[in-house]
Structure 1
Amino acid sequence: MKFVFITLFPEMIRSASAWSILGRAAQEGLLTVDCVDPRDYATDRHRSVDDTTCGGGAGMVLKPQTFLAALDRARKLAPDALVAALTPVGEPLHQDRVCRLARSGRDLIFLCGHYEGFDERILEEADLRLSIGDFVLTGGELPALCIMDAVARFIPGVLGKQVSAEEDSFQDSLLEYPQYTRPVEYQGKTVPEILLSGDHAKIGQWRRKESLRATFRHRPELLRSMQWQKGDGKLFLAMEEEEKEKSRAAGKSQES
């Protein structure tokens, strides 16, 4: 899969994508990362890519000439790619969108903005507009790298075991269950006994229940879009009873 970044800071992209899982995937030919710098298409001696906004106002706006020329180059590198503009007005990124991007089979071109944003004529060339949250960053490179990292996890071979991506947090709109490793006991805290039982059916039930618990505690709004499975009602009842028992135990401890 090809990822092409239209960016004023190509070294930032190359450096960030050269390490860990992404770097190894690139070395193995599972993905490629290219950068196109709009400054290469500037015609003045200062290599300007921005200008004052029409109608007045603070800040500078990215010009269509340089960015659209860079987009033409990027489309030659990845002819069938989807063009994604990183902008605060974009669609909030969710795992479902990540999955759809990964399963589309199409490469991705990222338009990374700066300053006061893009001239609207640049945005009109994008297939989609994306945002990673309701906050403002200095540029679109970090959000674009986040999206590449999320999408790349679904490329066969990148994670080694595809089940790792399929069981991640936000799959099925639930947070991931707690994970443990050895030693079984550390500083008085132990691994839940069920995980040492070897009973995969019961372990699966425990993990599902703990995913529900984590989501209910930390991101309850996600439960509205979860895909219910047979037995979830019983798991909720068991979870509720466990929480009541914890509350009763905590009350007795305070009394003593």
Structure 2
Amino acid sequence: MFSRRQSFFSLAVQYFILIVGVLFAIFPIYFVVQASFRPGNQLYSTSLQLWPTDATLENYQYVWTQIPLPTWLWNSIQVAGVTSLIALAITVTAGYALSRFRFRGRGFMLNALLALQAFPALLALPAFYLILLRLQLLNTHTGLILIYSCGAIAFNVWNIKGYFDTLPYELEEAAMVDGATPTQVFWHIMLPLARPILAVTALLGFLGGFGDFILANTVLFEERLYTAPVGIWALQVGYRNPWGWFAASALILATPITLVFLYLQRHLVSGLTAGSLKG
């Protein structure tokens, strides 16, 4: 009897902690959603209301029609998408080479990448600015993509290399015995098995390029070239903060991220090689 009561109490505590955690996770989202429907850029009302009684879509109409938010959103999608593809193409080949091949300078390269990963990216902002200035790529999406792609190399290479290290060599050896070339092994055997880490790398690359504000605000000067975070930040005038516009824009910007995550989550499956060597 005592054991049953103890088990019930333990289960109740676990559910209580989970409920509190869910409330903490959901409340900021709810707060932004209700602020986006409040008229007059009100962040909240003085009276206790779970939902504004005078809810309106005027904030959404304004940010979509009166400011170039669609252009900023498309700029962000372009920059993030191209960044993700370039970073993935570079790092997947580098990670595979560092995992499977032994060559002179391999250890130094891995240590150098690790040291670069430990270097704070914000301290490199002046260097990034000067590099783009010399290359005449300031105020261009090309320069932004270049920095994003190169900045993701260190972490992604180590991440992908670690995943390839977990894949058995016997798969490659069996394919080569059947007459496959190293290139065919990489494309037809290893890449399909590495789908989970490729999805994670692509998602991280897209998120990094889509949500960055500091670097984009440093190198972009024209309104038509703004990415979404920079454009939304520019909506504030002096000490006036248009909270309703911010909230509506934030929810609109969350849509591409949600769609990308939903598309890639079916690839985020581990254990694809389970049983591959059985028999």
User: TM-score normalised by the shorter chain: which range applies?
Assistant: under 0.3
> Taking CA–CA contacts closer than 8 Å with sequence separation of 6 or more, which of the two structures ends up with the larger relative contact order?
2
Greater share of residues in helix: 2
For normalisation by structure 2, the TM-score amounts to 0.22
For normalisation by structure 1, the TM-score amounts to 0.24
Greater share of residues in strand: 1
